């Protein structure tokens, strides 16, 4: 039996629910990146990065190619980058609203 669309979306958002996975996707927006560069940027243990990359790969959000002894990761498509940009816009709006509320509260003091 096929998975209902709302369940598939929930699973996608669960996949995106880890800060390291989000950061990896953000870094990959700049283009294909070797694992060693991701490790330098993220400052986490190789085993932790490997686990997060495996989950992103299984979900189809990233691809991996081997160039000699180096594994290079890339976003699986432009839609992933679009989703990250949409999240940034939503957060910016939410924080702007909260900032205005905070200013009103301070002004009332």
Angle at alpha carbon of residue 89, lines to 25 and 103, rounded to 5°: 130
Mean pLDDT of 3-8: 92
Distance, CA of 87 to CA of 109 (rounded, Å): 33
Residues 16, 56 contacting (CB under 8 angstroms):
no
Tens digits of residue pLDDT in 40-94: 999 999 999 999 999 999 999 999 999 999 999 999 999 999 999 999 999 888 8
The pLDDT score that the predictor gives to residue 21 is 97
Please tell me the pTM assigned to this model: 0.84
End-to-end CA distance of the chain: 58
């Amino acid at each position: 039996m096929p998975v209902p669309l709302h369940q598939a979306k929930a699973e996608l958002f669960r996949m995106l629910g880890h800060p390291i996975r989000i950061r990896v996707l953000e870094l990959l927006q700049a283009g294909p990146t070797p694992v060693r560069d991701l490790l330098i940027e993220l400052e986490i243990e190789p085993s932790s990065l490997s686990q997060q990359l495996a989950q992103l790969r299984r979900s189809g959000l990233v691809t991996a190619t081997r160039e000699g002894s180096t594994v290079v990761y890339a976003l699986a498509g432009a839609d992933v980058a679009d989703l990250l940009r949409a999240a940034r816009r939503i957060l910016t709006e939410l924080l702007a609203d909260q900032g205005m509320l905070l200013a009103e509260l301070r002004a009332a003091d």
